[in-house]
Amino acid sequence: MTELKGALIGCGFFAVNQMHAWNDVDGAEIVAICDRDPERLKIVGDQFGIERRYSDAEALFSDGGFDFVDIATTVQSHRPLVEMAVRHKVAAICQKPFAKTLADAKAMVAACRDAGVTLMIHENFRWQTPIQAVRKALDENAIGTPFWGRFTFRSGYDVFSGQPYLAEQDRFIIEDLGIHTLDIARYILGDVLSVTARTKRVNPRIKGEDVATILLDHESGVTSIVDVSYATKLSKEPFPETLIELDGTEGTIRLTQGYQLEIANVHGTRSFDVSPKLLPWASRPWHNIQESVYAIQQHWIDQLRHGREHSTSGADNLKTFALVEAAYDSAARREPVDIGAMF
Ligand code: NAD
Ligand code: 89Y
């Protein structure tokens, strides 16, 4: 198969996973990288043997020679870089969080649509092996019609050592991590009508909230809870596992710590080990996330080749990003927020 050529912008902490995954993806090759920090450019360029290196994204696009761009920078640069991709008519993957505001994210989707440029948000958590297993059980009607759900991520893991900027932001856990949990809730139980949220900051050394409890009313009539915390010190650290409870008319699904899936219904109780693979370049406990990075990047190539919509297209991810904004708004006003009114 001829390989699609890609360029990666932003050679920081997480991009190393994306570069490893690109090496594994069938049908893709990274031909150029860009970072405004010369040290990061050299580290990643040398590690992955990439000769074409740029400190300026405009220069990268002007030279061209690639079919897609993988934007792995932090949120401030997402809108300008996606708009640059649009001007140069290059298909783009953009890391989460989509943008600083929903208005920016909507403008990015509109610009891509008008220019006929494909946009996918790198929302990888729904691609994790255990999350896919839960979705498969529901699709196979293992518990009938779900009527209640809980999506929980509670941890005391030190994410600030690898990503120090997370301690400096006014908004922390919902924008950084809860965004994934909200996306999983949408992926499993469908789109959302309204959001009610409460937030807290427990760690005095950070600026934003590190605990959030969010109630979702899904269009299907299901109620779910998304609860996330980076202030929860457990005897056995679960990072970075999302745990799930689903109650349905015919049974229950429980995804518990240690990647164990339990399905109880009229046929009895069945347990499955749904652990992610430890890819050769991966390391625990990140291997769950790292495997999903490979999965979403392979999906990007497969769909791009066939001109098919991506699972986390820009248009799809607007609906997840709206939940992030709604959660902050609801917590600030202590009122439910109507999602329909945001579109
Ligand atoms: P980072 O700060 O370590 O790396 C970002 C890099 O981008 C830096 O090297 C910086 O110099 C470069 N950069 C920023 N703006 C640029 C520009 N305009 N042109 C060229 N280079 C530019 O950040 P990180 O921790 O790697 O996070 C990057 C993104 O990945 C964030 O949006 C974060 O939320 C996301 N992330 C996602 C996951 C996941 O599982 N999906 C996990 C961690 C981080
Ligand atoms: O940035 C975050 C993400 O997307 O997944 C985990 C993380 O690295 C820290 O919360």
pLDDT single digits (tens) 268-318: 999 999 999 999 999 999 999 999 999 999 999 999 999 999 999 999 999
The answer to whether residue 310 is domain-embedded is: no
Check if the interface score ipTM surpasses 0.90: yes
Nearest CA to ligand 1 atom 33: 74
Q: Which residue among 16, 75, 131, 177 has the greatest number of ligand 2 atoms within 8 angstroms of its CB, and so is best to mutate?
A: 177
Atom of ligand 1 lying closest to residue 289 CA: 40
The answer to whether residue 8 is domain-embedded is: yes
8-state DSSP, 325: H
- Residues 258 and 288: beta-carbon distance below 8 Å: no
* 343 CA distance to ligand 1 middle (Å): 28
Q: Which residue among 123, 163, 239 has the greatest number of ligand 2 atoms within 8 angstroms of its CB, and so is best to mutate?
A: 163
Model confidence pLDDT, tens digit, residues 12-37: 999 999 999 999 999 999 999 999 99
Q: Is 220 in the pocket of ligand 1 (CB under 6 A)?
A: no
Atom of ligand 2 lying closest to residue 96 CA: 4
Same domain, 29 and 81: yes
* 269 CA distance to ligand 2 middle (Å): 33
Instruction: Count up the domains in the chain and report the number.
Output: 2
Model confidence pLDDT, tens digit, residues 149-166: 999 999 999 999 999 999
Same domain, 56 and 131: no
Burial class for 77, CB neighbours closer than 10 Å (0-12, 13-18, 19+): middle
Q: Is 203 in the pocket of ligand 1 (CB under 6 A)?
A: no
Q: Is 240 in the pocket of ligand 1 (CB under 6 A)?
A: no
Nearest CA to ligand 2 atom 5: 177
The residue range of the domain holding 272 is: 126-283+320-342
Same domain, 134 and 277: yes
Residue type, 211: V
- Residues 197 and 229: beta-carbon distance below 8 Å: no
Query: Which segments of the chain are extended strands (E)?
Result: 4-9, 28-34, 52-54, 68-71, 91-95, 119-122, 146-154, 192-200, 211-218, 223-229, 243-248, 251-256, 260-265, 268-273, 337-338
Same domain, 103 and 137: no
Same domain, 188 and 241: yes
Distance CA 7, CA 29 (A): 9
Same domain, 332 and 185: yes
Torsion of CA 321, 163, 310, 260, to 10 degrees: -100
Q: Is 57 in the pocket of ligand 1 (CB under 6 A)?
A: yes
Report if pTM > 0.80: yes
- Two structure tokens written together for 211: 């605990």
Residue 69 is predicted with a pLDDT of: 99
Same domain, 105 and 156: no
The answer to whether residue 306 is domain-embedded is: no
**Closest Cα partner for 272 from 125, 134, 124, 127?**
134
